[in-house]
A and B are shown apart, each in its own frame.
Chain A
Amino acid sequence: MIKLQGKTVFSGIAIGRISVFKDPDIAVKREHVDDTEKEWKRVTDAKAEAINELGALYDIAMEQVGESGAEVFSVHQMMLEDEDFSDSIKNIIETEKVNAEYAVATTADNFAEMFASMDDDYMKARAADIKDISNRLLKILCGVKRSGVSDNEPSIIAADDLSPSETVRMDKSKVLAFVTRHGSSNSHTAILARTMNIPALIGVDFDDDAVDGKTGIVDGSEGVIYIDPSEELLETYRKKQEELLRQREMLKALKGKPTETKSGRKLNLYANIGGVSDVAYVLQNDAEGIGLFRSEFLYLSKEDYPSEEEQFKVYKTVLQNMAGKKVIIRTLDIGADKQIDYFKLDHEENPAMGFRAIRICLERPEVFKTQLRALFRAGLYGTAAIMYPMITSVEEIREIKSIVEEVKAELTAQNIPFNPDIEQGIMIETPAAVMISDLLAKEVDFFSIGTNDLTQYTLAIDRQNSKLDRFYNPHHEAVLRMIELVVKNAHKEGIWAGICGELGADTTLTERFVNMGVDELSVSPTFVLPIREKIRAME
């Protein structure tokens, strides 16, 4: 078994025979000609035919992938009609007294070189377009028949690079995946793979003879291709593929559908994310918002405190990408199992009950204020909400509020635009917060129950300690009753309550949560649709 790494341009799983796709080599010879006029006529005839072919490809592509994928062929037509391109060919034929093929190939090389030398990845990728149009001309000039996937068996297509016309002309029902040595995420192959919904890898360094005809597994999520995989691995991937297909089917059936029971009780079904790149999964899985944006990654991936500007940009990007859907950002939650060197926190015997989360923020208001400034500023770009972790008392909330007021006053004094009306809520993850949730509800706009910590604190079981596994019952009645109490107290004060811990994604509890009156569930993006399915099946 060989495992090769590449870069994914479209994810998914494909299992099948690998077929190496090679364009017939067109060997261009330099030949002396006397009748240059005749050579030029050959070029203009070939050009006319090529433009016709492109017109036909445009129509096919329009049908297969729509205008965005088809446009390239109309650009190719324009490139063929470009005066500079033609002038160069004509000039070479006339001055060097050479054959049409040679003149076309030389001109194409020069033009491709111009693009390849640009310091812009997108433009660099356009060198492939030049190659595509010149190959088209050369094939017509040399009378070479088109190549294509002739096999009847659907296969994983491996190639050096694929031109747009090659990808469009392939019989799509025979293509399981694309794997190329070259190409870029801006290439047409990538665009087509995305529209066709099949996995595609680029930058894979394979050997033609070593892969052709072999069985392969393309794993788009990891960006790898396995050649000659073991039966065991095949079985694993068959299962994964099935799961993925099921997911896709579910997506089709549930995408855009409201999360509500048959009797019409609606819930907000949001997703948890830990970074900007996760937003793609949120949207793919059709979550209605982000219920927990863990801001720690901004701090964890750095050598020093992230600046206000850095944070602002990240929050703004996420808010803009979510286009008005709610994004609940949790303020810094480090300590316990998440340690950061530059915070210079002392070693603790019992970090889970130690100096962490809001406790650090209240103790070091300058760190907290930087984050709050960034949040209130970014609030102008979408529907943001702020959530404070590890709350145990009303006093803490009052302290937070006075810091928020300071931040707002400073921004106003500095004439920096911000959104003063952002929803602010707290995480309910300590038994203390549960017991005084009636008092806390008077102070904030919402509750989000963090079941992981709440369970650990309630059952006095350290989740990092595997010896305690047999005592750990995630469905412990104590925790479920706490959730019920929190929801009841929230509703008494007219605020909403949700669950953003792992328990929220447990479909065996979904029904109970809905009956308790939970208003929101925030789960990992992949659980969004299974939960929506569950809720929609409820009476």
Chain B
Amino acid sequence: MVKFNYVITDEVGIHARPAGLLVKTAQQLSSKVTISKGDKSGDAKKIFSIMGLCAKQGDEITVTVEGENEAEDAKTLEAFLKENL
């Protein structure tokens, strides 16, 4: 299991468009990806689950990646977050 934290810098937060891109990215990975914010957590492969976190600018999210390719998948996600959120 690989875990990392990320602080949202995008002005609007994980809104519809980046949420869609995030889900698309996560769906291509073999690992199970969980994103949590405070006591809420969601499956990164499901759009409603991600939008339900209501993550806004300044919020810290924790990304948990589990699976055979976890190290590499975590890197992919971290790069995605930095680029888009």
Q: How far is the CB of B84 from chain A (nearest CB, A)?
A: 13
Q: Is the CB of B16 within 8 A of A126?
A: yes
Question: Does A144 reach chain B (CB closer than 8 Å)?
Answer: no
Cα distance A46–B13 in the bound complex, in angstroms: 32
Q: Which residues of A contact B19 (CB under 8 A)?
A: 75
Q: Is the CB of A123 within 8 A of B54?
A: yes
Question: Does B32 reach chain A (CB closer than 8 Å)?
Answer: no
Please tell me which one of the listed residues A85, A114, A122 contacts residue B15 in the complex, with CB atoms under 8 A apart. Answer: A122
Residue-wise interface mask of B (5-31) relative to A, using a CB-CB cutoff of 8 A (1 in contact, 0 not): 000000011011101100110000000
Residue-wise interface mask of B (33-59) relative to A, using a CB-CB cutoff of 8 A (1 in contact, 0 not): 000000000000111110110101000
Cα distance A118–B13 in the bound complex, in angstroms: 13
Cα distance A492–B20 in the bound complex, in angstroms: 62
Residue-wise interface mask of A (219-263) relative to B, using a CB-CB cutoff of 8 A (1 in contact, 0 not): 000000000000000000000000000000000000000000000
Q: Which of A70-129 contact B (CB under 8 A)?
A: 71-72, 74-75, 78-79, 82-85, 111, 114-115, 118-120, 122-123, 126, 129
Q: Is the CB of B48 within 8 A of A123?
A: no
Q: Is the CB of B54 within 8 A of A78?
A: no
Cα distance A122–B56 in the bound complex, in angstroms: 10
Q: Say yes or no: A126-B17 contact (C-beta < 8 A), given A82-B46, A84-B46.
A: no
Q: How far is the CB of B49 from chain A (nearest CB, A)?
A: 6
Q: Say yes or no: A74-B20 contact (C-beta < 8 A), given A82-B47, A82-B48, A123-B51.
A: yes
Q: Is the CB of B15 within 8 A of A123?
A: yes
Q: Which residues of B contact A120 (CB under 8 A)?
A: 13, 54, 56
Q: Which residues of A contact B46 (CB under 8 A)?
A: 82-84
Q: Is the CB of B52 within 8 A of A114?
A: yes
Cα distance A79–B20 in the bound complex, in angstroms: 9
Q: Which residues of B contact A111 (CB under 8 A)?
A: 48
Q: Is the CB of A118 within 8 A of B54?
A: yes
Q: How far is the CB of A121 from chain B (nearest CB, A)?
A: 10
Cα distance A126–B48 in the bound complex, in angstroms: 11
Please tell me which one of the listed residues A71, A114, A122 contacts residue B12 in the complex, with CB atoms under 8 A apart. Answer: A122
Q: Which residues of A contact B13 (CB under 8 A)?
A: 120, 122
Q: Say yes or no: A84-B20 contact (C-beta < 8 A), given A118-B54, A122-B12.
A: no
Please tell me which one of the listed residues B12, B15, B16, B49 contacts residue A84 in the complex, with CB atoms under 8 A apart. Answer: B49
Residue-wise interface mask of A (112-152) relative to B, using a CB-CB cutoff of 8 A (1 in contact, 0 not): 00110011101100100100000000000000000000000
Q: Is the CB of A72 within 8 A of B48?
A: no
Q: Which residues of A contact B49 (CB under 8 A)?
A: 82, 84
Interface residues of A (CB under 8 A from B): 71-72, 74-75, 78-79, 82-85, 111, 114-115, 118-120, 122-123, 126, 129
Q: Which 3 A-B pairs have the closest CB atoms?
A: A75-B20, A75-B16, A78-B47
